[in-house]
Each structure stands twice: as C-alpha cells, then as structure tokens.
Amino acid sequence: MQVPFYGHVRQYHKIRSEIDANIHEVLESGQYVMGPMLKRFEQELAEYHGMKYAIGVGNGTDALWLTFMALGIGPGDECITTTNTFFATAEAMWIAGATAVFVDSDARTNCIDPAAIEAAITPKTKALVPVHLYGQCADMKAVRKIADKHKLLVIEDNAQAFGAHGDGFKIGELSDAVCTSFIIQKNLGTFGDGGAVVTNNEQVDRVVRRLRNHGSEKRSCHSFGFNSRLDDLHAGVLSAKLKHIDEWNDLRRKHAARYTAGLAGAKTITLPYEAPGYRHIFHLYVVETRNPAHRDPFLEFLNQAGIDAKCHYPIAIHQQEGYPWGKQARIAGPIPNSERNAACCISLQCFPN
Ligand SMILES: *Cc1c(COP(=O)(O)O)cnc(C)c1O
C-alpha cells in the first residue's frame, strides 16, 4: 500500500463545484490580474483574521520581505528568528538586506524561545520574526513584551499555522504584520504559488500594495517596486477553500489526536506538544526520534514500506551551504534545541481528507 504525504486531489474533489464556480467566474469576468476576485479574497482574508488589511502577493517569501521593506527593515538591521524553519524565513531577510540572527527554539514547541531573545538584542536589532512552526503559534505574549521593552517590530511568519491561535491571543493581534504562504502544500493552499500580508498597520498596507505592483498606486505613476501579485484565479481557489479551513483544521487535529493516542507510550520517539490553551492545527505532525542516529533509518523504513513520511527540516538554516552568506546571518548563543529538532524530526502524514 502506498500512503501519500498530501491529499491535494482528494481535497479538490470534495469541493470541486465551489472551486470550479470561482474559477469560471474569474474566466468569464475577463479580469485576471488585480481584478474583483482578488479584492474579494483580500476582504475575506482580513475578516477571517479580524484585521483591517490583507494584501495578496506572489508567495510567502515575498510577503515577508515586502513587509520588511515596508517597515523600513534593511541593510544594517538585525532580525531575530530561529534556524529550525523553512529556509525562506532567513532568505527574506537576506533579500531585504538585513541580517538574520538565530536564537534557540523552545524544547517542546520548537517555536522561538522567548527566554533566548533578550541576550541576542543589540543596538542594531530592529525586529523579531517568530515562526509558527508546524501549525502551532509561538509564545506571542512573551515576544510582544520583549518587543515593547526594546521598541522592536514584530512580524509573524505564519506560513504554517493558518487558523491556529494561542492561549488568549489571535494570530496578528500582537504583531505589526502577519505573513502567509498559499503554496499548495500549506494548510490553506492554491494550485500553485501565492502569499499574503495581513495587518492593522496602514503604512504596511499602503507600501506593500504599492511595492507588489511596480511601485504604482495610480495608473501610469510609478515609484520603484516589484512584480509580486496574487492572480485572481488563485484568489478564487483560496476564497472557496477559506470557507472550509476551520473544518479542515479540525480534521487535522482529529487525526493528530489519533496518532497521539496510538503512539502514547512509545519510548523511542517524542510526540508533538500542544501548549495549554493553544490551537495547534497540525500543518505537520512531527515526531522526533530520541536518538538522532535513529532518524534516517526510521525514515527509510517508513518510505520502504510505502509510507511517504518526510523531514521538516533536516538541515537547519545555519547548516546550509554558503552560510552565513556574506555575514548576513549569525547565531546568538547556543541553539541545542533547534539542532536537536533538525537532527531528529520526522513528519508523519497529516492531511484533512
Ligand atoms: C513555506 C514557507 C515560507 C515561504 O513561502 P513560499 O510561498 O514558498 O515563498 C516561509 N516561511 C515558512 C515557515 C514556510 O513554511
């Protein structure tokens, strides 16, 4: 038996009529770029977050660096984040010209360890960039407190936790902006690439909107910008899927609970941890082998058995080739938890359908 890692086609079949209707609406409208479907989805997205603005962009990486740019984060500035994340978190800092500063992650949640942040702050520190890894929010209350004390910006990398929330806080509530990715393998994904910035900050809204469209606010008038738009076809797919995201996340949670019950008592692996009061949406169900030497053989065993398990992410950012990319990255303090996470993680299948 083959057990696939994703269920994209099954998901499409479940709500095919809704997706097809939106696609046809776009096709018949004749407006495919910056059209009414994009506007509609942006409105729905802002409403979903209970926030003022949402701006669709080309992908999650652009969402991050366009936000950095809109907030004036650039060369000479340091952004504090974690190294056990998808490469793009640091890549976006590199693109903006800023320096990524890595601190350790929490031993249990694998998100940024607030206790490690203060020691890494220097006069150059401009922003904190917590990643809501695997579907669980970072401890945003603690992050916010540190940001207030040191007058720092906070940008949430929410490529992996769409629909999650913390203990008494929503995503976006305690930061300057939230950056999301809609590439198909994320829990809210389109049939291709996409991303968005969600914010209450009028400046972020105005500048990202301008930057994503060749620096243009008014037809034929430009300041320098880029081309990073969310196409209306993708906005239509996402608009259809957004109506189901809470139900799909509930199913992810249900499957995760089944794993957790079935694997309780396993002595050679550690199961995912859900912080009290948090809604973990299990974008990924990640176990860790207690012994790092067991990880690769275990993964190979599963794959040989037809179970398409994966690793997110076996090579942490600071372990990638070329690090530290012209000194645009550095590690502040020991990062044993992030290194353990990279060495021991295995993602088991966890998708709604
Ligand atoms: C996927 C992802 C991104 C980048 O998103 P793209 O749409 O692929 O550019 C950024 N950060 C994290 C944590 C991600 O998982």
Q: Mind listing the pLDDT tens digit for each residue in 175-194?
A: 999 999 999 999 999 999 99
In angstroms, the CA 311 to CA 255 distance is 19
Probe target for ligand 1 pocket from 61, 65, 105, with the most ligand atoms within 8 Å of CB: 61
Cβ–ligand 1 contact at 195 (below 6 Å) = yes
pLDDT at 130: 98
Mean pLDDT of the 205-231 span: 95
Cβ atoms of 336 and 242 closer than 8 Å? no
Averaged pLDDT score across all residues of the chain: 97
Cβ–ligand 1 contact at 67 (below 6 Å) = no
- Measured in Å, residue 181 CA sits from the centre of ligand 1 at 6
With 0.85 as the threshold, say if the pTM is over it: yes
Cβ–ligand 1 contact at 89 (below 6 Å) = yes
Q: Mind listing the pLDDT tens digit for each residue in 289-306?
A: 999 999 999 999 999 999
**N-terminal to C-terminal alpha carbon distance within the chain:** 17
In angstroms, the CA 175 to CA 148 distance is 11
Give percent of the chain with pLDDT exceeding 70: 100
- Measured in Å, residue 195 CA sits from the centre of ligand 1 at 9
89 confidence band (pLDDT: 50, 70, 90):
very high
In angstroms, the CA 191 to CA 240 distance is 12
Mean pLDDT of the 229-254 span: 98
Indicate whether 1 pLDDT > 90: no
Mean pLDDT of the 318-341 span: 96
- Measured in Å, residue 284 CA sits from the centre of ligand 1 at 14
pLDDT at 129: 98
Cβ–ligand 1 contact at 184 (below 6 Å) = no
Probe target for ligand 1 pocket from 102, 134, 157, with the most ligand atoms within 8 Å of CB: 157
Q: Mind listing the pLDDT tens digit for each residue in 21-54?
A: 999 999 999 999 999 999 999 999 999 999 999 9
In angstroms, the CA 188 to CA 181 distance is 8
Residue 19 region, left (φ>0) first, then alpha (ψ -120 to 50), else beta?
A: alpha
Indicate whether 253 pLDDT > 90: yes
Alpha-carbon distances of 264 from 258, 287, 329, rounded to whole Å: 10, 12, 39
